[in-house]
Amino acid sequence: MTISSSLNAGVAGLATNASRLATISDNIANSSTMGYKRVQTDFFSMVSSSTGGFYSAGGVRATTQRLVSESGSLVSTSNPTDLAVRGRGFLPVVTEAQVNAPQGDLQMRLASTGSFRPDEAGYLKTTSGMILMGWSANADGSIPLQPRDTAEGLVPVQINGNQLIGTPTTEMTVGVNLPAASTEAGAAGDPETLSVEYFDNLGASETIVIEFTPTVAGTGSSNEWTMVLTDSASAGAVIGEYTLTFDDSRTGGGTLNAVATVTGGTYDAATGSVVVNVAGGPIELNIGALGEQGRMSQLADTFTPVVIEKDGAPPGNMVGVEIDANGFVIAQFDTGENQVIYQIPLVDVTNPNGMMTMGQQTYTPTSDSGDFFLWDAGTGPTGEYVSFALEESATDVAAELTAMIQTQRAYSSNAKVIQTVDEMLQETTNIKR
């Protein structure tokens, strides 16, 4: 019985060390595989018994575990849609076969890194056929409210290289210096005119013409101007008229002292803005708060535009995309405009090592890993996205080679045990002779 148990223990040792060698071989073979998570083999002894002074060998068994929680180093690349994760969390991906299937739910997989490039349909896909998933943005770039404990809101990220965008103007800032001499007694009273371009809802260029007419005083200076705004898209109709009065005191000379609304939106003294309605909708026009320097002024100088700023843009072609640290996919247009088109969440589970290993360095949550949750990158326990980067294999080749030597010696030792038991059994057989 004891000799037989020794033989069984030796055979178990050969099998477990062969299993360890298999994991070592796999780790070394994937030492250059981006995103590879190494496999670890652990041994534990079987229950042994000792009866009446006789010991029965229990042998050994091996268990393997993929250490998904371990991360490799990040390396820089030249592709803006190469993604890695700095910290905790995984990318949501789906197989190309499921995306191309006529129907059916998309089964989310998780990956720690990926080199994504647009395919012929515009999907961001790796060479192994994994497609990046995210939440699609609204037309204004905002992300709608999405469920966080299910993948139902996720869709494949698709980049349309022929996409056009035109952003209407909704805000405008104007500041000019009006010549103080124009309001003095005897002045000609000639108006000053400023044209400001804006973009309508279809991206067409329109103009707001701002005319400043001085109030010429009978004596001294009135320090007063009438500001009239007209809209080219409304056939030159007046969309606002305001009376501007400027301060001539020693401390605030030249700054706005009062704004009276004749027609149009009411002037807000707190923000320095008025809202005027052009043909396509309202535009908030900021002329500066009362007493504010560097905006609307009346100084003894010529008529000079000080600041003209506005949002909006004409139609432009998409020229590229980038992904920021928070997972927002930002489309870049040749007009200089940027717009969010997707958000990629970071997926987190309680026990990453409990996930089931799939192909292409991807994983699926199981009951051992715990439920998943979709986080905004950089919030909660998750890390952040790093673009222009990939995660290297978590394999340490030097450590694996050391483990290989240990495994080889252990295998040889177990083989020696079997050889010794065989010789002892041979001696037992010789007793009969």
- Cα-to-chain-centroid distance, residue 201: 28
- Cα-to-chain-centroid distance, residue 55: 62
Per-residue pLDDT of the chain (433 residues; tens, 9 = 90+): 567 778 888 888 888 999 999 999 999 999 999 999 999 998 888 766 666 667 777 778 888 899 999 999 999 999 999 999 999 999 999 999 888 877 667 899 999 999 999 999 899 999 999 999 999 999 888 999 999 999 989 999 999 877 777 889 999 999 999 999 999 999 999 999 999 999 998 889 999 999 999 999 999 999 999 999 999 999 999 999 999 999 999 988 999 999 999 999 999 998 999 999 999 899 999 999 999 988 899 998 899 999 999 998 888 888 889 999 999 999 998 888 888 999 999 999 999 999 999 988 999 999 999 999 999 999 999 999 999 999 999 999 999 999 999 999 998 998 998 888 888 888 778 886 6
Q: How far is CA 204 from CA 154, 199, 275, in A?
A: 34, 5, 21
Q: For 124-182, what is each residue's pLDDT tens digit?
A: 999 999 999 999 999 888 999 999 999 989 999 999 877 777 889 999 999 999 999 99
The domain limits of the chain are 2-67+394-432, 74-163+321-391, 169-311
d(CA 433, CA 428): 10
d(CA 366, CA 371): 8
Residue type, 26: D
pLDDT of residue 53: 67
Strand partners, 155: 134
pTM of the predicted protein model? 0.75
* Residue 417 contacts residue 10 (beta carbons within 8 Å): yes
pLDDT of residue 82: 95
In b/e form, how buried is each residue of 395-409, taking b as 16+ CB within 10 angstroms? beeeebeebbeebee
In words, the CATH class of domain 169-311 is mainly beta
Copy the structure tokens of residue 387.
């673009």
Q: For 62-81, what is each residue's pLDDT tens digit?
A: 888 999 999 999 999 999 99
- Cα-to-chain-centroid distance, residue 263: 45
Q: For 306-346, what is each residue's pLDDT tens digit?
A: 999 999 888 888 888 999 999 999 999 888 888 899 999 99
Side-chain-facing half-sphere of 268: CA atoms under 13 Å: 11
Q: How far is CA 399 from CA 38, 320, 406, in A?
A: 12, 42, 11
